[in-house]
Amino acid sequence: MPFPQIDPVAFSLGPIAVHWYGLAYVAGILCGWLYARRLAANDSLWPHERSPITAAHLDDFLVWVAVGIVLGGRLGYVLFYDLAAVSENPVRALEIWNGGMSFHGGFLGATLAMVFFSRRNGIPVLSMFDIVSAVVPFGLFFGRIANFINGELWGRLSDVPWAVVFPTGGPFSRHPSQLYEAALEGILLLLVLAALVFGMKAFKRPGFVSGAFVCGYGLSRIFVEFFREPDAQLGYLAFGWLTMGMLLSLPMVVLGLWLMLRTRLRAAADA
């Protein structure tokens, strides 16, 4: 299947080119913010029937998390995937418009933003983690769609009917792994977390939704890595199949399972 040849530049305003990649970040943050306001306004979802997070908190946090995601995402990409090239050309570290954002780095940056913001505003840290975790799949979905439009992070060689010939991937058909990630990390994970929040009232057990998100993302990423072409500068780390994405995601699975188990044990002890 031929690549749809979508221009990476969505539109231009004079000399300023607005890229789909940047719009994806804006869309993800805005959708997440609107959804988070709805969750925070529903007192019945929270411990003691009262939300510890207000709409004003979320409005202020929007700037904090945007900075954490962008700085952490770019720094993570440079450290984990592109350190050699950046060492030769330091200006490359600033070229965010050319792609190159690490989810794992953005995850760490957002986590630090949540911790500092929660402590500053007297919000239980785990509850802050939970509400942010519930909305992160919006950003993951739009980000992976932008990866597809940019024709980057494509998959391994494949002859499946929906395989795509990417303009930067040679004359070969490949898995559209960006769309696999958009479906799993974005749509499916969003629905699973929503079921926990609204169906199981999981916010009443602070930390459980966070654990489910971290574990769910890690499992989704590890699965898709089997279809995604590893970064050219790294290749396979071992065994002819282990990638950096797998290596960075495995601790997330362990951490997520630990958080969910810890929350359930604490709830059982309090019962």
- Taking residues 201-210, what's their average pLDDT? 95
The DSSP secondary structure of 168-181, one letter per residue, reads TS-SSEE--HHHHH
CA dihedral over 142, 147, 148, 153, signed as positive or negative: negative
Question: What residue type is assigned to position 197 of the chain?
Answer: V
Least confident of 176-180, 198-202, 241-245: 241-245
Q: Which helix (H) or strand (E) holds 107?
A: helix 103-121
pLDDT at 19: 80
d(C-alpha 62, C-alpha 200), whole Å: 27
CB neighbours of 250 closer than 8 A, spacing ≥ 6? 218, 222
For residue 147, the Cα-to-chain-centroid distance in whole angstroms is 13
Question: What residue type is assigned to position 100 of the chain?
Answer: G
Residue 24: burial class (beta carbons within 10 Å; 0-12, 13-18, 19+): buried
Least confident of 1-5, 141-145, 246-250, 258-262: 1-5
- In this predicted structure, the answer to whether residue 251 has a pLDDT above a threshold of 90 is yes
- Taking residues 63-75, what's their average pLDDT? 82
d(C-alpha 192, C-alpha 169), whole Å: 33
Rounded to 5°, the CA angle 73-78-79 comes to 100
d(C-alpha 142, C-alpha 74), whole Å: 17
- In this predicted structure, the answer to whether residue 94 has a pLDDT above a threshold of 80 is no
CA nearest to 133, candidates 66, 196, 211: 211
- Taking residues 93-100, what's their average pLDDT? 56
Residue 194: burial class (beta carbons within 10 Å; 0-12, 13-18, 19+): middle
Extended strands (E) in 117-230? 164-165, 173-174
CA dihedral over 111, 59, 26, 22, signed as positive or negative: negative
Write out pLDDT tens, residues 108-144. 888 899 999 999 999 999 999 999 999 999 999 998 9
Give yes or no for a contact between 119 and 127, defined as CB atoms under 8 angstroms apart.
no
Percentage of the chain surpassing pLDDT 90? 55
Rounded to 5°, the CA angle 256-59-200 comes to 40
The DSSP code for 10 is E
CA nearest to 129, candidates 61, 77, 27: 61
d(C-alpha 250, C-alpha 245), whole Å: 9
- Residue 153 to residues 167, 180, 196, 205: CA-CA distances in angstroms? 12, 12, 31, 37
CA nearest to 129, candidates 263, 13, 7, 250: 263
Q: Which of the four pLDDT bands, split at 50, 70 and 90, describes residue 36?
A: very high
Give yes or no for a contact between 249 and 76, defined as CB atoms under 8 angstroms apart.
no
Q: Report the mean per-residue pLDDT for the chain.
A: 87
